[in-house]
């Protein structure tokens, strides 16, 4: 297992020199953030990022993420230009030593929460998704800005993209994803870079937009679109676990045994009674609905030796900054994951 930690570059309030102090930390997970979606990343920017990471004693092997342009998801004729740029990014990242690229195929919005600062009983704050709050939101008003919401769209531009997606069915999205994979996976194979799709978060439609990477059957279908070890998964326990229809330890064991999990995001969520609302919690199994020990046991027993990072954490001990991405709680999560991994490893030998 290679323990990793997401870092948003030099603008991140979390200092990279602090990340390296987390026991057993192996890799930084990062990206080039100042290039518009769909464009080529300058080689100089990639090399600068690599040098920063390696100068701090960590490995530069996982990118999260290279975003997919909406024209690719929509299957528009203009997608060809953006696919060619995507291929070039894969080649250049592979040449820089990157082993895994995380990406997603969620229309318009990345991961979505309805509140950034729900106060817990212990005084910490957490990200939450409450169905009743979402039902009151209108992304077309231009008045909201939450994590996962692309702020590059104007109010008019967002309305236009929603109109385009109104004509896209789930099957259309599957077709467009299959076309994309057919173009990029051969390039990834040549570059030695494993592509790892992130599941939809949450794993059901929002605002009428289609979402397809949501459950075990759809993960099976995805992997069959292009049957290659280079076409794999970022298995996010919190994203898939936000649907009470997903058996997370079972799914982890199944896809790990197939060698198709290239990157693990481990976090915990507490599922609420309405079946679609949830609260992010501390990583410890007793706080949420995910059994982290069972998840890690499933990884180990099926030969997983890839990258794991602690996903979203609470904001604790007065820390401020990017919600869900403070240092303190994610560092606790990393240590919790590493401790379970060691314990399971030693007791199963």
Cβ(282)–Cβ(239) below 8 Å: no
| pLDDT at position 270 | 97
Alpha helices in the chain (DSSP H): 16-19, 43-55, 70-74, 79-95, 131-134, 155-165, 170-191, 216-225, 237-241, 248-257, 292-301, 327-347
| pLDDT at position 75 | 97
User: Is residue 346 helix, strand or coil?
Assistant: helix
For 253-307, write each residue's pLDDT tens digit.
Answer: 999 999 999 999 999 999 999 888 999 999 999 999 999 999 999 999 999 999 9
CA distances to 29, 99, 336 from 262, rounded to whole Å, are 13, 9, 21
| CA 62, chain centre distance (Å) | 12
| pLDDT at position 146 | 60
For 295-340, write each residue's pLDDT tens digit.
Answer: 999 999 999 999 999 999 999 999 999 999 999 999 999 999 999 9
All residue ranges of the chain with pLDDT < 70 are 142-153
Tally Cβ neighbours within 10 Å of residue 313: 28
| pLDDT at position 155 | 73
Cβ(192)–Cβ(99) below 8 Å: yes
Phi, psi of 330 (to 5 degrees): -70, -35
**Pairwise CA distance, residues 328 & 321, whole Å:** 11
> Could you tell me the domains of the chain?
2-347 (3.20.20.150)
Q: Which region, left, alpha or beta, applies to residue 138 given φ > 0 means left and ψ of -120 to 50 means alpha?
A: beta
| pLDDT at position 148 | 55
Two tokens, residue 166: 């109104």
Q: Which DSSP string corresponds to 37-70?
A: TTSPPPHHHHHHHHHHHHHTT-EEEEEE--PPPH
Known catalytic residues are 198, 236, 265, 311-312, 325
Classify residue 324 as exposed, middle or buried by CB count within 10 Å of its CB (0-12, 13-18, 19+): buried
Nearest one of 155, 41, 131, 140 to 87, comparing CA atoms: 41
């Amino acid at each position: 297992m290679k323990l990793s930690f997401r870092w948003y570059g030099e603008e991140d309030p979390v200092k990279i020199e602090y990340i390296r102090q987390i026991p057993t930390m192996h890799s930084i997970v990062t990206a080039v953030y100042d290039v518009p979606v769909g464009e080529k990343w300058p080689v100089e920017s990639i090399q600068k990022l690599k040098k920063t990471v390696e100068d701090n004693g960590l490995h530069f092997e996982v990118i999260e993420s290279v975003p997919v342009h909406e024209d690719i998801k929509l299957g528009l004729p203009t997608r060809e230009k953006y696919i060619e740029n995507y291929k070039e990014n894969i080649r250049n990242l592979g040449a820089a030593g990157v082993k895994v690229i995380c990406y997603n195929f969620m229309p318009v919005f990345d991961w979505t929460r309805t509140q950034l600062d729900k106060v817990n009983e212990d005084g910490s704050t957490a990200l939450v998704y409450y169905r009743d709050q979402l039902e009151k939101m209108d992304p077309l008003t231009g008045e909201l800005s939450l994590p996962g919401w692309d702020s590059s769209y104007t109010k008019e531009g967002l309305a236009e993209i929603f109109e385009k997606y109104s004509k896209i069915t789930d099957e259309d999205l599957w077709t467009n994803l299959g076309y994309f994979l057919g173009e990029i996976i051969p390039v990834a194979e040549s570059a030695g870079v494993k592509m790892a799709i992130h599941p939809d978060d949450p794993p059901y439609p929002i605002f009428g937009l289609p979402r397809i990477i949501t459950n075990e059957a759809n993960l099976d279908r995805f992997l069959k679109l292009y049957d290659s070890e280079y076409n794999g998964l970022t298995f996010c326990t919190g994203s898939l676990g936000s649907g009470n229809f997903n058996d997370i330890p079972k799914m982890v064991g199944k896809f790990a045994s197939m060698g198709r999990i290239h990157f693990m995001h481990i976090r915990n969520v507490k599922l609420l009674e309405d079946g679609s609302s949830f609260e992010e919690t501390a990583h410890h199994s007793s706080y949420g609905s995910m059994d982290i020990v069972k998840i890690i046991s499933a990884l180990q027993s099926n030969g997983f030796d890839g990258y794991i990072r602690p996903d979203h954490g609470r904001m604790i001990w007065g820390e401020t900054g990017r919600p869900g991405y403070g240092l303190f709680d994610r560092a606790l999560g990393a240590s919790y994951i590493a401790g379970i991994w060691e314990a399971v490893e030693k007791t199963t030998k």
